[in-house]
Each structure stands twice: as structure tokens, then as C-alpha cells.
Amino acid sequence: MRLLISHFMNILIIEDEPLTVLGLKQKIKDINPVTTIDTAASVDTAYELATRHSYELVIMDIDIKGKAGAGVVERMKSLHPGTAILVITDLDERTYGLPYMKAGADGFLSKLASSAQFDEAIRAMMVMGKYASVALQQQIIQENQVNRSVRYVNPLMSISERERQVMNHLIAGKSTGEIAAILNINKTTVGTHKMRILKKMQVNSLIKLIEKVTMLS
């Protein structure tokens, strides 16, 4: 026997298919009888309701009149940052899931999902304010892993051989003129290399450069 959720919630459904609205209302009431449910068949109506009321949960179709795209998610979040947003759609989850989650959606569910998945998603959104299918969770994890690997690439790897020579002399305390004489290049070129090195190393001073090189070497 499933446990009911019994805390009061205001919920907004943004959907232009009456049968879908009816089904969502029934599922919501089955899971949590203590709810007030507003409905909007267009984006404009949804905005009007959102400016007059606060909602704990918004369930929105992204393929309705007025096209409830990622910008609608972002605007809803700007109006009510604490509102949980569950996107439902018959569009491909692999293509649209991640972009909508990045736009601020807290959950993404295919309309082709089973009745049990709908129950799971709505319950998760009511309790935790988050939901993603196993496939979308894997996609999010992979995306985060790629971002982490890119973010943590050692910036020293991007320094060219000539820049490394200039950098080593800078760290050793040599002046621009001294480095120019040692490497047989003009002072302007040394200055250009220095600016590139600081930019690549994401620092704004020689002291910070020395600290970062010491840390990463």
C-alpha cells in the first residue's frame, strides 16, 4: 500500500490537452489529496497565474500553444525561485532532457512513460522537488564528468615551449630586459608572452603565477 503525502500544496499544470490535465489531476489527488490545482492552457495564462499566486510545484508541457520553451522555465524560476518545475513532453528525452534541466527544470518526464513512472515522478517532485529517469541521470552524470575533466585540465599543459622559457625566467626573478637578452628576442615580445602566460594560467600577477606554478608542478 502506497503512503499518501498529506502536506498542503499549490500546484500549477501548464497543459493544453484536456485529457492529460484530467489524468494529472487524478494522479496528484491520489498521491496527495491536500492540494489546490490551477491549470493554464497557454503560456500567457501561466504567467498571469504565476504573478498572482505562489506554487510549490509546476508541471508543464513544453509543446503547447505559445511554445513553453526553456525560456518559460527560466522565467518561472525568476518569478518563484523555490518552485519545483517538472517538464512533461512527448519530445525525445535524450535530446531535450538535459537542456531543460540546465535551464532550471527540476524534473523531466516523457509522456510515453508508464503510469508507474508518472506516479514516481510526481511523488518525487512533491517530496524532494527533483526527478529524472535513470537514463537522464546517467546523461547528467556523464555531462558532469566531462565538465569536471575540462575544468581541471592542468593549465601548464597549454603553455608553449617559448612561453615556458619566459615563464621560468620570470619566476626566477629576471626582468623583461634580461629575458629579452637571454632569449635573443625584443622586450615587446617578452611582454606579449608574459600576458599570454598570465591569461592561460588564469592569474593577474607574477606572485600569483609563482604560487600556481608551484602548486601545479
Task: Tell me whether residue 204 is in a domain.
Answer: yes
pLDDT in tens, 95-132: 778 888 888 899 999 888 888 999 999 999 999 999 98
Is 196 found in the same domain as 106? Answer: no
Task: Tell me whether residue 209 is in a domain.
Answer: yes
Does residue 212 have a pLDDT over 80? yes
pLDDT in tens, 189-206: 999 999 999 998 888 989
Does residue 68 have a pLDDT over 80? no
Nearest alpha carbon to residue 88 among 37, 138, 127, 132: 132
Last residue of a domain, one of 98, 125, 148: 148
Q: Give pTM, 2 decimals.
A: 0.64
Is 144 found in the same domain as 71? Answer: yes
Last residue of a domain, one of 106, 133, 148: 148
Q: Which residue has the cell 489529496?
A: 33
Is 115 found in the same domain as 57? Answer: yes
Task: Tell me whether residue 2 is in a domain.
Answer: no
Q: What is the DSSP string of 122-190?
A: HHHHHHTS-B--HHHHHHHHHHHHHHHHHHTS-GGGG--HHHHHHHHHHHTT--HHHHHHHHT--HHHH
Q: Which domain holds residue 183?
A: 155-216
Range 168-196 average pLDDT = 93
